[in-house]
Structure 1
Amino acid sequence: MHPTISPTLPLASRWRRFACMMYEGVLLFGVIFLAGYLFDTLTQSRNALMLRHMRQVILFVAMGVYFILCWRLRGQTLPMKTWNIRLQDAVGAAISLPRLIARYVLAWALPLMMAFAVMTASRATGYSSTDLFIVFAPFAGFIYTWFDREGLFLHDRLVGTRLVDTPKPART
């Protein structure tokens, strides 16, 4: 468990959360590669379309295990530690496992809605090049932050968590 943090810590800025998200994407490449490799080895899959839905579930769970384990143990992933960002609740207490799971699942809502909107637009217009806008789907969560009074993500608002700046460790 991560230690109790003061609830008076300032919220992490959007730019720092964005930078952290970019770094997180690099690390997730490794998590997804390893989970996909293990899945393909164990199921003897020869291409990505074999057992496609099962693969998606396995990758969703693998990413969930990565995030929830990191958040549960220290309140931060490696990119969050690099950018001095910590996950905590509104009063600075440790977050329960059910709330961490809810945060992870809810974090997918807006990106999946944007992905669906891109797919719908592509089919409605008949231009398959519209599918390229899918690259913006992961950032859909940031749209809500411009409307939230504290600049929180929607999933953080719903679960009662926040990403705060942590003091930089003292150099010795």
Structure 2
Amino acid sequence: MTRSHDNASISCPLWRRLAALVYDLLAVVAIVMVVGLLCQLATGGQVVAAGAHATIAWWYQPLQGLVVGAYFGVSWWRGGQTLGMRPWHIRVVGTDGGRVSPGQALGRVVVAALPLLLLALAPWLGLRGAVWAVLAGWALCFAPALFDPRRRALHDLAAGTELHRIG
């Protein structure tokens, strides 16, 4: 069933999607902790090697990224909502108002994660500067939602999705 885009009440305001993102941050922290624990148990505590400089196994951070990305992508594809979106009564839908396809969910995850590449600037900016760069990148990703009539962020525009208020 297709919904009309003329009804502004179905579009999700930026403040509501950011509030849901704060809730999702709690879920992400829990996921990262569980994956970290499982990796430590599986490697006998060798994921992080102590020494003059602590080193992390090459596969650990990509694994964490994959698991967190899967949390978002599968949540959007299967039910249109993450845990954080449920209490705020918002759902990701295709621009036709229908269910998000696996490709749209993947595209949304990839575009939303792109600012994380700015962490590579840490050797030049320091960790604090690189984290600020990531936050600025995310702010730019959400900026279109302030001006778009359907309140879509950059990852929505790229993936052909939008957020609707439900219930």
TM-score by length of 1: 0.76
Counterparts of 2:161 and 2:119, CA distance in 1: 25
Structure-1 residue corresponding to 2:116: 112
Matched, 1:164 2:164: yes
Choose from 47, 50, 55 the match for 2:56: 50
CA offsets, 1:28-76, max 9 Å, x none? 110111111112211234353331x311111111112211222222110
Counterparts of 1:10 and 1:151, CA distance in 2: 10
Give the length in aligned residue pairs: 157
Choose from 3, 6, 25 the match for 2:3: 6
Structure-2 residue corresponding to 1:170: none
Task: Say what the alpha-carbon RMSD is for the aligned residues.
Answer: 2.7
CA offsets, 1:132-162, max 9 Å, x none? 6367357432234345454311111011001
Counterparts of 1:83 and 1:139, CA distance in 2: 21
Q: Is the 8 A contact 1:115 1:137 kept in 2?
A: no
Structure-1 residue corresponding to 2:103: 98
Counterparts of 2:117 and 2:56, CA distance in 1: 25
CA separation of 1:92 and 1:107: change in aligned 2, threshold 3 A:
same
- 1:112 is matched by which residue type in structure 2? L
Matched, 1:78 2:83: yes
- 1:122 is matched by which residue type in structure 2? L
Secondary structure at the aligned position of 2:98 is classed as coil
Q: Is the 8 A contact 1:7 1:90 kept in 2?
A: no
- 1:6 is matched by which residue type in structure 2? R
Q: Structure 1 residue runs of 4+, over 6 Å off? A: none
Q: Is the 8 A contact 2:95 2:161 kept in 1?
A: yes
CA separation of 1:131 and 1:105: change in aligned 2, threshold 3 A:
closer
- 1:14 is matched by which residue type in structure 2? L
State the shift of 1:115 in Å. Answer: 4.0
- 2:160 is matched by which residue type in structure 1? G
User: How much identity, in percent, do the aligned residues show?
Assistant: 25
CA separation of 1:152 and 1:28: change in aligned 2, threshold 3 A:
same
Consecutive unaligned residues in structure 1, runs of 5 or more = 168-172
CA separation of 1:138 and 1:82: change in aligned 2, threshold 3 A:
farther
Counterparts of 1:100 and 1:135, CA distance in 2: 21
- 2:125 is matched by which residue type in structure 1? S
State the shift of 1:26 in Å. Answer: 0.9
User: 1:23-62 residue pairs with structure 2 within 5 A?
Assistant: 23-46=23-46, 48=48, 49-51=55-57, 53-62=58-67
CA separation of 1:64 and 1:135: change in aligned 2, threshold 3 A:
closer
